[in-house]
Amino acid sequence: MSRLRPRRASACALLLLAATLPAAAAKPASPAPEIDALLARALPADGPGVAVIAVKDGKTVYRKARGMASLELGVPLSPDSVFRLGSITKQFTAVAVLMLAEEGKLSLTDPITKYLPGYPTQGHTITVEHLLTHTSGIRSYTGIPGYMTGPKVRADLTTAELVEVFSKEPMDFAPGAEWRYNNSGYVLLGAILEKVSGKPYGEFLAERIFRPLGMRSTRVGDDGPVLAKRAAGYTRDGETVANARFLSMTQPHAAGALVSTVDDLALWDAALYTEKLVKRASLEKAWTPAVTRDGKPTRYGYGFGVSTLRGARSIEHGGGIFGFSTYAVRLPDEKVYVAVLANSDAPAADPGTLGKEIAALLIGKPFPARVAVPLDPKLFERWVGVYRFDPQTTRTITAEGGRLFSQRSGGPRLELKPLSESEFFFDGSLTRIAFAAPDGKAKEALFYPEGADEAEKGVREGDVPAPPSETKVDPALYDLYAGEYELAPGFILTVRRDGNRLLTRATGQEELEVFPASETEFFLKVVDARITFVKGSDGKVTGLVLRQGGREMPAKRTR
């Protein structure tokens, strides 16, 4: 990328300037040493790493990389390394849709069946805007049990074939009734772009966005001609770094198929201060949070998350795709942009956390250090309970062994570290929880996700239910349950006996022990989930039911 450079001035002019400026106008210190130290603390130099760019007032104030682009070849990352972007792709898709809208080729209020007449909307009217704002109610294909962990993600699909993957899935809710992050919606936007423009999604973006902005290292997918400086993608298998699973880049499509560099993303950000692509009014609409039918505001516009960061208006998005994690944030009023691209889908440090810390530093409002303070464990007891955040979501707070834990419904149990008697944080994260007890007893939990200024409020609804009691059963029963159970096509739960233990492994996931609550009911301790084995009239096990996150998933025994 070509960066802004100061003009040369004559010695006379420099002397005159120095004589007229007060001492307080000295050049501000570079943020580089602090950012260098932040990255050094967060990431080992010999593992997968990150490329980072930070821009303020149109000038690049930091541009470096740390870590390895190829562990196998010993090649370090560089600032111009190429990464998969994942869901940062969505903002490009959204702006492309706005381009066509400004040209009168589509309207955001149009039903999607105007452009995709065969799509089964199941009796609902779903608009283009519903897709942009994640309020369509269409089932996200990446949430179909087993799809992303099964073999089908390796297949090259046409746009029509990809739409077919989810088109017959039941709706999650009526259009506009709720907000739920949705990759299917953006695949459909890509299909609409192709239909209206008459060009493949990647060709349209290259012609209308990448080439005009000089984004030379950005394209849809990383197949085809050799892409110089492309970073390898990694994951974790327990404590071991491993190569990421293969994913056909035809499948993320308009929801996540872009590859790029931090330099190209800075060019993209600069263009959004102009009207090179779309008018200012269109961008402001894209950066305005959508509202559900009942008037509840979301934190999402068109392809961009909308929030605040240390009191500043924040336009942001993260991405996660096999082998890569990404995050980019712009603070438009402060003219700050930070992009952090990681070549691991389980990085040593979260790009979102790093990006927010760097952006906060650039506006002079760094996050305070998150250091656990010593507390009497007896103080934790007042916060124990179940807190409801919405009809589907609770957080269960428990105290055990002198430590406090938080567990989101259907999720893993994570330790909370104390900042004070009533405020706690998750290690390695900007997320914190503050408890309110106006009359001495806990009433509310205020959840601040990833450094957000505004809290999600949970109301205490009761005590922690007694955990399932572990029952002694004859381990010989485990032989009856050992086998394979299909939760979804390509998504298998394998059950096996290991002496006196019963172990389960879902496709692509780690093996976990389950514990008996009865001869047919089992539960996990590390995740909020239960398994019930189902027997036929002859006493043979024919299947199971997995209960997790408010969902019941029956599985037929296949072996």
Active site (catalytic) residues: 87
d(Cα 321, Cα 466) in Å, to the nearest integer? Answer: 37
d(Cα 126, Cα 162) in Å, to the nearest integer? Answer: 19
Q: Are strands 83-84 and 511-516 parallel, antiparallel or unpaired?
A: unpaired
Least Cα distance to 341 among 266, 403, 425 occurs for 266
d(Cα 336, Cα 359) in Å, to the nearest integer? Answer: 7
**Residues 116, 191: contact at Cβ < 8 Å?**
yes
> What token pair was written down for 432?
């914190």
Q: Rounded to 5 degrees, what are φ and ψ at 79?
A: -60, -25
Q: Rounded to 5 degrees, what are φ and ψ at 400?
A: -155, 130
In Å, how far from its chain's centre is CA 226? 28
The DSSP secondary structure of 453-497, one letter per residue, reads: SSPEEEEEEEPPPPPPPP----GGGHHHH-EEEEEETTEEEEEEE
d(Cα 147, Cα 125) in Å, to the nearest integer? Answer: 27
> What token pair was written down for 156?
């090259």
Least Cα distance to 434 among 16, 442, 342, 130 occurs for 442
What CA dihedral angle connects 152, 153, 158 and 162, to 10 degrees? 80
d(Cα 63, Cα 75) in Å, to the nearest integer? Answer: 18
Burial bucket for residue 226 (CB in 10 Å: 0-12, 13-18, 19+): exposed
Q: How far is CA 507 from CA 86, 247, 254, 489, 510, in A?
A: 22, 15, 26, 11, 8
d(Cα 397, Cα 402) in Å, to the nearest integer? Answer: 13
CB environment 277-300: b (16+ within 10 A), e (fewer): bbeeebbebbbebbeeeeeeebbb
d(Cα 266, Cα 480) in Å, to the nearest integer? Answer: 58
* Identity at 557, one-letter amino acid code: R
Least Cα distance to 318 among 291, 348, 354 occurs for 354
d(Cα 257, Cα 245) in Å, to the nearest integer? Answer: 15
> What token pair was written down for 186?
């953006």
Least Cα distance to 307 among 332, 279, 339 occurs for 332
Least Cα distance to 339 among 233, 243, 267 occurs for 267
